[in-house]
Amino acid sequence: MAKERTLGIIKPDAVGRNLSGEILKRIEASGLRISALKLIRLSHEQAERFYEIHKARPFYGSLCAYMSSGPITVVLLEGDDAISRWRELMGATDPLKASPGTIRKDLGVDVEKNAVHGSDAPATAAAEIPFFFSAVEIHDADFK
């Protein structure tokens, strides 16, 4: 098992419904460590940059408007196989197709307002983490 870092976002729909604590509780209960955390609001232009990979998709404009519509809670998660473990906790993109017990199944509104984001691969995590966090904001998850 490889020790990994991944980026998590609690999206505006979930922050707006007071679900940050519930989602952070699930993350901690899973054993993943939170090594950076903040509440911020993206501008529309910043959301466009973050989701640039989806530029050609029909939902891109709506997604960027939604992701800049209110504050988001951003976390850096660390642990063995953190990338796939966080994706498993999140569940499938569409809450209707997500497995029981996953965050998206339990807390997502629809395929767009699906409560959370997670990096999908090591290269994605390596690009997404510095988009939000600088070195001084990242803490040693194994601090004693």
Q: Which residues bind Mg ion (CB under 5 A)?
A: 120
Of 63, 55, 61, the C-alpha closest to 11 is 63
The pattern of x and - marking residues 1 through 40 that bind ligand IDP according to CB under 6 A reads: ----------------------------------------
Q: Please identify which residue in 6, 35, 102, 114 interacts with ligand IDP, judged by CB under 6 A.
A: 114
53's tokens: 């990979």
Instruction: Tell me how far the alpha carbon of residue 143 is from its chain's centroid.
Output: 23
Q: Of residues 36-95, which lie at the interface with ligand IDP (CB under 6 A)? A: 54, 59, 63, 93
20-29 helix and 82-90 helix, angle to the nearest 10 degrees? 130
User: What are the backbone angles phi and psi of residue 76, rounded to the nearest 5°?
Assistant: -105, 120
Is 96 or 137 the residue whose CB approaches ligand IDP more closely?
Answer: 96
- Does residue number 131 form part of the binding site for ligand IDP (CB under 6 A)? no
